[in-house]
Structure 1
Amino acid sequence: MRRRIAVLVAATTTLVLVAFLIPLAVLVRTVAFDRAVNTATTEAQALTSVVGTVDRSTLELSVQRANAQGRFPLTVFLRDGTVLGAEAERTPAVRLAARGRSLTVDTDSGVAVLVSVGDSSGGQAVIRSEVGERELMRGVHRAWLLLAGLGVVLLGLSVLVADRLARSLVRPTRELSEVSHRLANGELDARARVDSPREMRDVATALNHLAGRIRELLAAEREYVADLSHRLRTPLMSLRLDAEALRDRQESERITEHVDTLHREVTRIIEQAGRRSSARSAPSGCDAVAVVSERVEFWSVLAEDTEREMRVDLAPGPLRVALEASELSDCVDALLGNVFAHTEDGVGFDVRLFAHEGFVRLVVSDDGAGFGESVASGEPLSRGASGSGSTGIGLDIVRRAADESGGSVTLGTGERGGARVTVDFGVPEG
């Protein structure tokens, strides 16, 4: 924007200067021309009294003196054909002036001023003054240079003023952009200054109001999550007591472990909600091989119970991704949970993990019916969208995890005709 304003002002100033300086340059040329011609005419007219009153010898001396002292060469054409002073031809213009008509004509070397005057013998003589091109342009080039210099100075000043003005407009805009990015990164204390121009001040005020409203909404969300945790605590405690009361010791320990896992997940969700109000920090990352191996081992028990063939191909680790271990674990659970939820018992699936073009790629594909026509529009990745009666949140969790790491998610059809989800996770910097 700053550069565009400077270019616009420079173009406008250039047009104004051209419209002003070109006529002024022409005027300077005209004034110099008229000045030289008038001076030559004055010098020629100074001899008119001499030509009409003195004899020829005196006239010749007077013409020589005038040529020695004047700027322009003078020639006197007498009626009898005698030519005194500077050499010059008796041109048709001279013959016309000999009939009693004074005039100014253009020549190859400049301008000739012809003055008709009566001589001492009663005839008609012509006084000719020659003005060269150099005399006609005396001082013109210098004036043109001064005008050009003035134009350059004015253009530079206009661009400088425009740049200062543009800076005063661009600076508040950049500050607003910086504040908006800080808010997007979770710095809810960021506020825009309101000491800018009126229009920018209105935008800054609206942005500050929006930041305050976001802060209020997040505070309300954290309170709601805290309330939810208290509401869940009593049922979880009841489940734990019921599990501990079971007579089968192994069954009691198994159910108790599941209740503890559920309690930890609820606690982690509460902590994550509480961190949303603070600035985001770059995740430390985790070893994807270790996390995926642990979750595959967990789901292998259920796969065995449902007679599913689990084909696992994990690259040798470590393969670090820019994602916390808990978030990657949720992502893997969402993918494998969809396989168990949306395919019949006995349907096998593949889990592959490997490095691919600067990313860590996780591929989960099954031998079921696939996504169908919805995969073309990407509908399964939309939050709450599901064509199989589910909540539609599972794949959205996967998408958000991939986006947070700087990767992406692709849906497709597997080699055996079932659904295939390809997730590319970004790797930590450095």
Structure 2
Amino acid sequence: MRWRLTLLVAATTTLTLIAFLVPLALLLRDVAEDRATDRATADVQGIVPVVGTAERADIELIVDQLNAPGRRVTVFLPGGGEPVGTPASRTPAVELAATGTSLTAALDGGREIVIGVGRSDGTAVIRTVVPADELRAGVTRAWLVLAALGLLLVVVGLLVADRLARSLVRPIGELSAVSHRLARAELGARAEVPAGPPELREVAGALNHLAERIQVLLREEREQVADLSHRLRTPLTALRLEAESVRDPDDRARVAGGVDALERAVTGLIRQARWRSEPSTAASCDAVAVVRDRVEFWSVLAEDTGRAMRLSVVDGPLPVGVAADELAAAVDALLGNVFAHTPDGTPFAVSLSADRVLVVSDAGPGLAGAAVSRGVSPGGGTGLGLDIARRAASSFDISDNPGGGAAVTLGLPAALTTP
């Protein structure tokens, strides 16, 4: 935009100068020609009385004096004969002036001035030639001065246009930088009200108002989620008490584990919804331990529903850049989808490779052909399970298994610090 404005001003200034300087240059040329012609005419008019009354000898003396500085004057006396002064032939202008007419005519290499002078024996003609260099005297220098002046005006115009363009572009660039910071969730970013046009100040004010409104909306949303999460504490406590009253140790452990998982999810939701003024530290966990723990939890339900389960994880700890509760919630969401959207007895598999790729696949009807987006579930649910898994992963993909069923692939981010 800056260069476009500068080029626009340069083009406008150049066209204006051309429209002004070209006629001025032509006028200067005409003025110089008229000045030289008037000067030569005044010189020859000074000898008109002598030519009209004096004898040839006196006329020759006066003409020789006039030609001494470089003037080329010729006098054609009546009756023909050799002209007086600079030798020259009788031109059509001289023949016309012999009838008593005075005129100026163009001539190759200059301009011809002829004056008819009446004598007692006829009409004499005084002729002088103004050469081209005399007609153009001073014109070249004047044109150079005009060209230099025009160039100077163009340069000044470009400098002014550049400063004007910078005063417009700089606030726009600052507004763009603030909008990008807001897009990166830097909600404290604010645009300084520029000193430019009122429109830019209005845009800056609108952007700041938008940022403040986003902060208010996020604060209200997080407070509502946090309030809802806190409200879940009471039924969780009651559920834990009910789990402790189960007599069968295995059932009691299974129900207690479910309550613990639900409590961890609620705790994580509260922590994420809480407004923080300081940035949080990088989260990390051992993906192998988390995946093993959650698969072991779901294995009891898999056994009850007659599902064959296969677990394949890499040996040793595998640190990833995801909090343990978030990764556990993602694995629970994917395994919950398997149990919710496939019939009993459908086998499934969970694998975790050394390059931090988690795959949960099943032999059910499949869902890769359906639309999978935020808040949309191919199985007719809310779609929140896939959203939970997507948030915990750096890459997310759903595909069909070659033998039937669906496979959800999560690329887990690398841990910045080892757990």
For the 8 Å contact 2:288–2:314, the answer to whether it is kept is yes
Deviates more, 1:9-18 or 1:347-356: 347-356
For the 8 Å contact 1:366–1:416, the answer to whether it is kept is no
Q: Which residue of 1 aligns with 2:171?
A: 172
Normalising by structure 1, we get a TM-score of 0.80
Distance change >3 Å, CA 226–CA 410, structure 1 → 2: closer
- Whole-Å separation in 2 of the counterparts to 1:299 and 1:326: 16
Measure how far apart 1:327 and its partner are. 4.3
Structure 2 gap ranges (5+) = none
AA aligned to 2:96 is: L
**Alignment partner of 1:369 out of 365, 370, 375:** 365
Measure how far apart 1:272 and its partner are. 1.3
Measure how far apart 1:390 and its partner are. 0.9
- Kindly report the root-mean-square deviation, in angstroms, between the aligned alpha carbons of the 2 structures: 3.6
AA aligned to 1:419 is: A
Measure how far apart 1:94 and its partner are. 2.2
Distance change >3 Å, CA 346–CA 426, structure 1 → 2: same
Q: Within 5 A, what are the aligned runs for 1:208-219?
A: 208-219=208-219
- Give a deviation string over 1:185-243, Cα, whole Å, max 9, x none: 33433333346443233333333333333333233233323322332222222222333
Measure how far apart 1:60 and its partner are. 2.1
- Give a deviation string over 1:86-127, Cα, whole Å, max 9, x none: 3433222222222222222222212222222235x6232222
AA aligned to 1:2 is: R
AA aligned to 1:395 is: L
AA aligned to 1:258 is: G
- Whole-Å separation in 2 of the counterparts to 1:108 and 1:355: 97
SS at match of 2:84: strand
Percentage of identical aligned residues:
56
- Give a deviation string over 1:124-144, Cα, whole Å, max 9, x none: 222222222222222222222
- Whole-Å separation in 2 of the counterparts to 1:115 and 1:10: 52
- Whole-Å separation in 1 of the counterparts to 2:401 and 2:409: 10
Q: Which residue of 2 aligns with 1:68?
A: 68
Distance change >3 Å, CA 370–CA 191, structure 1 → 2: same
Distance change >3 Å, CA 188–CA 78, structure 1 → 2: same
Instruction: Establish whether residue 386 from structure 1 lines up as the match of residue 377 from structure 2.
Output: yes
- Whole-Å separation in 2 of the counterparts to 1:285 and 1:86: 110
- Whole-Å separation in 1 of the counterparts to 2:23 and 2:219: 70
Q: Which residue of 1 aligns with 2:26?
A: 26
For the 8 Å contact 1:381–1:399, the answer to whether it is kept is no
- Give a deviation string over 1:361-420, Cα, whole Å, max 9, x none: 66555433233753xxxx32142x234221122233344455xx4x5x454433234334
- Whole-Å separation in 2 of the counterparts to 1:51 and 1:252: 145
Instruction: Establish whether residue 252 from structure 1 lines up as the match of residue 245 from structure 2.
Output: no
Distance change >3 Å, CA 66–CA 228, structure 1 → 2: same
Distance change >3 Å, CA 333–CA 238, structure 1 → 2: closer
Normalising by structure 2, we get a TM-score of 0.82
Measure how far apart 1:24 and its partner are. 1.5
- Whole-Å separation in 1 of the counterparts to 2:10 and 2:309: 71
AA aligned to 1:144 is: W
For the 8 Å contact 2:226–2:273, the answer to whether it is kept is no
AA aligned to 1:370 is: G
- Whole-Å separation in 1 of the counterparts to 2:292 and 2:85: 117
- Give a deviation string over 1:140-186, Cα, whole Å, max 9, x none: 22222222222222222223223333333333333333333333333
Structure 1 gap ranges (5+) = none
Q: How many residues are paired up?
A: 414
For the 8 Å contact 2:111–2:131, the answer to whether it is kept is yes
AA aligned to 2:403 is: R
